[in-house]
């Protein structure tokens, strides 16, 4: 039967994708054990790119073997049914649905993007889902004792090299747990450990994720493990606070490498530990960004159905490259590339697309917001006021189409909504201003350590999260730090060189001293910034950062407070 053959070709394409995804992910533990930090970045980019390669490969097979165009509606209804039948007991059913959607949506017109032909609504709601127990193993200290059980847990993972002082690390771990979770029952006969089968690898760290189940309830935890030249493999920290766990799994960090046979079960377990995290956020965090994209769109559709509020232009200074709008009750912004840029932006649309892709593939070090990229997104036209619609038509007419009661945006990015830093500073307390200005400088340093030069460092291009963490979100001028030329400002006679703007320079030239002049004209904010980071106003810092990168010196950015670390 032709419909079955088509369904099986698509499922085979997904199976190949998932096998390659897992094989790439399996390289991370090897790189961790060998301290091969350069490989971590390269395999991350490789893993992101291979999804589209498999989709395109599957499409070519369908075209050559099945001659599937133009769309035969009756045939494709049957194809979807046949595909769905094969997912009833499939351990990656939700990911296979998304792969199917990707194939179909690249083959046919968006008028068919509905649940009749694709999985707008997941079939997993009607079929068996994999239980969370499939992704973790339970350990019982009552049998072997507390410290031997912890040793068994850690030794189970291997990590590619022995611990320098595992017994000492375990003592610190137990002491930290008693201090951080004093209400948990700590007697060995009153608890069990539920530990996810695989560690989570990212940058220079590995993380064991689990929970303690005791008579007093459930206590989630994350154990951070480092492999350094100075100390070898060792436990660096214990994290038990939910807010700190959410930062580790945050939207501004690179995707984890973690082996999983049943992603829905893994996400289910993580959601039990961090209930405020959405399914989209968790799928993104574990590297399944295409599934995160699917889950996000379902959340968006549910949001539209739950109220009748209108879209508005996003609060903050209007961007010269992006037109940004938002739905007030939905914590995200929609960014569309403008048809024309300001004269101060000497580049075009293709450059912007490339720079957003650069950030997508790069280590975001907890300081650059993740983006979700969509094509042909359909919005209800009635949700846009005449004022906003006029602004959209004057700025992004080339990227939008109005069809009857629908507004279709041809291409857009979606990011987590934050309070723009310049707006935050207008109303915050002096204490908060001091804190965020220090964190703004720290954000710059952490991006620089990852070979990212943000370009436009104006405060309006940074956001403040609800935890008052400063995050960069405007990527149209992002470049690699090593491509820039950092220069001293020429000294002017009878003129304050900090106020001199008429300086001969090439496009890649940067004058760090101007950071205080043009980015921080407010004397109060400038003083707060320089108090915390005086080195950022000098050329030496930037040149040293370039030298470190060229010499492959990779700094580790800790996603948890320094005071949590055992070595301090």
Binding residues for ATP: 314-320, 335
CB atoms within 10 A of CB 326: 19
Which residues are 326's β-sheet partners? 312, 333
Q: Is 370 a catalytic residue?
A: yes
Kindly state the helix (H) or strand (E) to which residue 124 belongs, with its residue range. none
CA distance 468 to 436: 7
**What backbone torsions phi and psi does residue 386 show, to the nearest 5 degrees?**
-60, -40
Task: Give, in degrees to the nearest 5, the angle at Cα 138 between 134 and 141.
Answer: 180
Phi and psi angles of residue 547, each rounded to the nearest 5 degrees, phi first: -60, -45
Phi, psi of 170 (to 5 degrees): -65, -40
Q: Which of 370, 439, 456, 474 is catalytic?
A: 370
Which residues contribute to the annotated binding site?
A: 314-320, 335
Cα of first residue to Cα of last residue in the chain, in angstroms, is: 66
Residue 243, token pair as written in the block: 């807010």
Residues 6+ apart with CB under 8 A from 157: 198, 199, 206, 208
Q: Which of 213, 216, 209, 336 is nearest to 270 (CA)?
A: 209
Total residue length of the chain = 568
Cα(6)–Cα(200) distance, integer angstroms: 36
CA–CA separation, 45 and 254 (whole Å): 10
Which residue(s) pair with 210 in the sheet?
Answer: 195, 221
How far is residue 233's CA from residue 323's CA, in Å, rounded to a whole number?
47
Residue 462, strand partner residues: 472
Q: How far is CA 524 from CA 316, 497, 518, in A?
A: 21, 20, 14
Which H or E run includes 443?
Answer: helix 430-449
Task: Quickly count: other Cβ atoms within 10 Å of residue 565's Cβ.
Answer: 15
Task: Find out whether 154 and 163 touch, Cβ atoms under 8 Å.
Answer: yes
Q: Is the separation of the CB atoms in 186 and 192 below 8 Å?
A: no
3-state secondary structure of 115: coil
Question: How far is it, in rounded angstroms, from Cα 338 to Cα 183?
Answer: 54
Q: Which residues are known to be catalytic?
A: 370
């Amino acid at each position: 039967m032709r419909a079955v053959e088509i369904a099986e070709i698509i499922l085979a394409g997904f199976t190949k994708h998932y096998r390659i995804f897992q094989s790439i992910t399996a390289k991370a533990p090897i790189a961790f054990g060998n301290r091969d930090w350069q490989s971590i970045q390269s395999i991350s980019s490789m893993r992101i790119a291979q999804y589209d390669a498999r989709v395109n490969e599957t499409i070519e097979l369908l075209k050559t073997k099945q001659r599937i165009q133009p769309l035969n509606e009756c045939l494709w209804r049957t194809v979807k049914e046949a595909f769905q039948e094969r997912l009833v007991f499939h351990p990656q059913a939700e990911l296979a649905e998304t792969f199917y959607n990707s194939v179909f949506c690249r083959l046919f017109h968006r008028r068919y993007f509905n649940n009749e032909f694709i999985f707008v609504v997941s079939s997993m709601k009607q079929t068996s889902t994999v239980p969370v127990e499939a992704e973790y193993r339970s350990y019982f200290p009552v049998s072997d004792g507390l410290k031997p059980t912890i040793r068994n847990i850690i030794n189970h993972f291997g990590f590619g090299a022995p611990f320098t002082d595992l017994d000492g690390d375990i003592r610190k771990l137990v002491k930290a747990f008693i201090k951080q979770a004093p209400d948990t029952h700590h007697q060995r006969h009153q608890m069990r450990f539920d530990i996810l089968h695989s560690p989570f690898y990212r940058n220079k760290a590995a993380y064991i994720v689990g929970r303690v189940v005791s008579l007093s309830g459930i206590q989630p935890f994350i154990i951070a493990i480092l492999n350094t030249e100075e100390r070898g493999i060792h436990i660096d920290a214990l994290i038990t606070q939910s807010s700190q766990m959410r930062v580790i799994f945050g939207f501004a960090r690179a995707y984890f490498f973690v082996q999983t046979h049943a992603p829905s079960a893994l996400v289910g377990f993580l959601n039990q530990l961090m209930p405020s995290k959405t399914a989209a956020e968790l799928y993104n965090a574990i590297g399944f960004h295409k599934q995160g994209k699917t889950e996000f769109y379902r959340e968006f559709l549910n949001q539209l159905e739950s109220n009748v509020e209108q879209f508005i232009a996003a609060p903050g200074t209007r961007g010269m490259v992006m037109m940004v709008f938002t739905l007030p009750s939905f914590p995200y912004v929609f960014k569309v590339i403008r048809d024309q840029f300001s004269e101060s932006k000497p580049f075009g649309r293709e450059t912007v697309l490339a720079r957003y892709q650069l950030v997508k593939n790069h280590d975001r070090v907890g300081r650059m917001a993740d983006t979700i990229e969509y094509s042909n997104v359909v919005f209800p036209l009635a949700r846009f006021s005449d004022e906003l619609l006029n602004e959209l038509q004057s700025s992004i007419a080339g990227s939008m189409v109005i069809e009857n009661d629908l507004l279709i945006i041809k291409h857009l990015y979606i990011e987590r909504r934050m309070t723009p830093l310049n707006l935050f500073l207008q109303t915050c307390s002096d204490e908060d201003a001091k804190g965020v200005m220090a964190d703004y400088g720290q954000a710059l340093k952490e991006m620089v350590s990852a070979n990212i030069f943000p370009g436009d460092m104006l405060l309006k291009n940074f956001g403040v999260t609800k935890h008052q963490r400063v995050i960069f979100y405007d990527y149209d001028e992002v470049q690699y730090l090593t491509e820039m030329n950092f220069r001293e400002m020429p000294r002017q006679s009878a003129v304050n060189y900090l106020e001199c703007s008429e300086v001969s320079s090439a496009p890649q030239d940067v004058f760090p001293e101007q950071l205080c002049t043009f980015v921080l004209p407010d004397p109060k904010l400038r003083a707060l910034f320089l108090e915390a980071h005086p080195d950022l106003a000098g050329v030496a810092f930037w040149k040293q950062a370039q030298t470190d990168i060229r010499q492959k010196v990779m700094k580790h950015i800790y996603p948890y407070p320094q005071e949590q670390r055992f070595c301090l």
